[in-house]
Amino acid sequence: MRFTLLIPAIGLVAACDTVAPVGGPDFNTPTYQAQREAQLAGQGYTGNPLLGPAEVTEQQLGAPDADAPLPTGENADLASATAAALASTSGQPTYVPPASPVEDPVNTAISDEQDFDAVSGRRTIESDAARIEQNRQTYEVVAPTAVPARGTDGQPNIVQYALNTSNPVGTQLYSRAGFNLQAKAQRNCARYPSADQAQIDFLSNGGPQKDRKGLDPDGDGFACGWDPSAFRSAVNN
C-alpha cells in the first residue's frame, strides 16, 4: 500500500522539475526571459528579440520625404521655424559686418578753443595778433546820449509825484470830511480803467490836498489804491 502511494508522488516531483527555473549563469537573463515567455505562450523561440545598436541603419529608419506638407494647426509655427533653421545651416555661414558707430551730432558743435594742443596746431602768435588787430578796426564805441525829456502833455507826472513822496500807502497826510467816504471812493474809482488814470485825474483836480471826487478817502495822497512803490524801487535799484 505504501509502495503504491509513492509512485504518484515521484511523478509529481518530476513534473515540477521541468517547469521550475534552474539557477545558473543563464537564469533571469533577457534570453531566458524570452524563452520562458515563448514557452508559456506555446510558441517556439528563435533569435534575439532586441535589435542591437549596430543594426540600426538609414535604410531601416527611412529617408525623410522632402515633398511632405508641413503640419498645420498648433505645430505650424514650430515646423516653419525648424525648416528655416535647417535651411540656414545647409549653406555657408553669412558674414554680417558690425554696424559703424554713429557720431553724436551734439559733440560735433563743441568748441575746442580751451584745448591747447588742438588750437596750437592751427594758430600761431602772428595769426592771433592779426585777428586782434582786425577786431580793433571793427570795434565801434557808442557815445552816451542825453536821457529823453519827459513828456509835457499838460497832465501831472505821476512818476515825478511818486519820487517826491515818501509816506507809505495808507498813512494819512491830508484831512478828508464827509460820510461814507469808502463807499463813495469805491463807486467813483470804478469809472477809471486803471489806478494810474485815477491818480492823474486826482492830481489834476486839486490833489493831494483836495479830493473833490472822493478818490482818496484815507488822505494818504494816493487815489483808488494807487501805489508809488514800483517807481521808488526802480530809482533805488
Q: Is 8 buried (19+), middle (13-18) or exposed (0-12) by CB count in 10 A? A: exposed
* pLDDT of 176 higher than 50: yes
Domain chopping of the chain, boundaries? 158-236
CA–CA dist 70, 82 (Å, integer): 10
Between CA 217 and CA 212 the distance in angstroms is 11
- Number of residues in the chain: 237
Whole-number pLDDT of residue 215: 95
Question: Positive or negative, the Cα torsion across 4, 6, 12, 15?
Answer: negative
How many angstroms separate the first and last alpha carbons of the chain?
Answer: 151
pLDDT above 50 for 13: no
pLDDT, greater one: 179 or 111 = 179
Distances (CA, A) of 111 to 28, 103, 104, 116, 237: 91, 16, 14, 12, 37
The pLDDT value given to residue 26:
57
- The residue that leads in pLDDT, 175 or 120, is 175
Predicted local distance difference test score (pLDDT) of residue 205: 93
**Per-residue pLDDT reduced to its tens digit, 50-78:** 555 555 554 555 555 556 665 565 556 66
**Which amino acid belongs to residue 131?**
R
Could you report the per-residue pLDDT of 67-120, keeping only the tens digit for each?
A: 666 556 555 666 666 767 666 655 555 555 666 655 555 555 677 777 878 777
- Global pTM reads 0.39
pLDDT confidence band for 3 (50 / 70 / 90): very low
